[in-house]
Amino acid sequence: MPFSLRNTMLDHAPFLNAIRANPADDAPRLIYADELTAIEEYDRAEFIRVQCEFAKLNNTDRTCPDLDDYGRSEPRWKEGICKCKGCMLRRREDKLLHLDVPYPGGDGTKWSQWESWLGVDRVQSPTGWKWFSRGFVHTVTAPLATLIGGQCERCEGGFVHGKHPMSPSHKCDNCDFGRTAGILPQIVRSECAVVEGVRASDKKPAEYVHDYTWFIEREPHDPNVGRNAESRMVLPRAIFNLLTGGKIVSYGPNDTGGHRLYVTEQLAIDDLSAALLIYTSRE
């Protein structure tokens, strides 16, 4: 079961608050690791220590060519040949993340340890293990529907090949009848996350026009929102209304939604991140 439900012997909140208050300091993380060791959460505690140790490696320790994953389907550090400190830490980190543990429900199936820590399985987020840094998840990156729930991006709401999502022939291991539940609330509430940012990987503000970039708000049933390039800038009303940056513009009574304009793309992305965290806190 999720790490947050496995052990109620420890009040995690004070330790997580200290980590959030001092994000650049490893000391609160290592103190928390000691407390986890005391309640026999050995793997989770070791994982925090291993990632903190790897983050502290100096430039000399990071020069090993086996640590370079670029362009390789299987990193060389996994081969176990190199005995440098960096490669040994990466191998231990990888083993702790992907160790098989019992899936909740007692049916004998397994899932990876990182999935049990977050309560999110790899079907919902195949690369969720990459979110961890210095022992915790700080930034979550996934398609919007995966983050907050909505039309499944894998089967496009169940209408792939013309099959209705309620049809018995509809098969998708990523959703229930074309809709996803949303993983962000579970992750934010996990004791393995101190989430500071959220990135919707399928959303991006519009290209610059007259020195502005923007997001658009549309009703979910708007026929103008389809599988096209412009859909990346379209946000559901519940999220759009939580944006606080930029300026809101409507182009007349026939405009089916507002436009929120920003002077830089980064300001738009940061505003969407903040809106997603606010939305999650209200769920």
Statement: residue 1 has pLDDT above 50? no
- Three-class SS of residue 136? strand
Q: How many whole angstroms separate alpha carbon 143 and alpha carbon 270?
A: 16
Specify the pLDDT at position 64. Answer: 84
pLDDT digits over 259-268, tens only?
888 988 999 9
Torsion over CA of 103, 32, 125 and 223, rounded to 10 degrees? 120
Span of 74-78, 145-149, 198-202, 249-253 with lowest mean pLDDT = 249-253
Examine the pLDDT at 207 and tell me if it is beyond 80: no
The burial of 78, by beta-carbon neighbours within 10 Å (0-12 exposed, 13-18 middle, 19 or more buried), is given as middle
Q: How far apart are CA 268 and CA 153, in angstroms?
A: 22
pTM (2 d.p.): 0.79
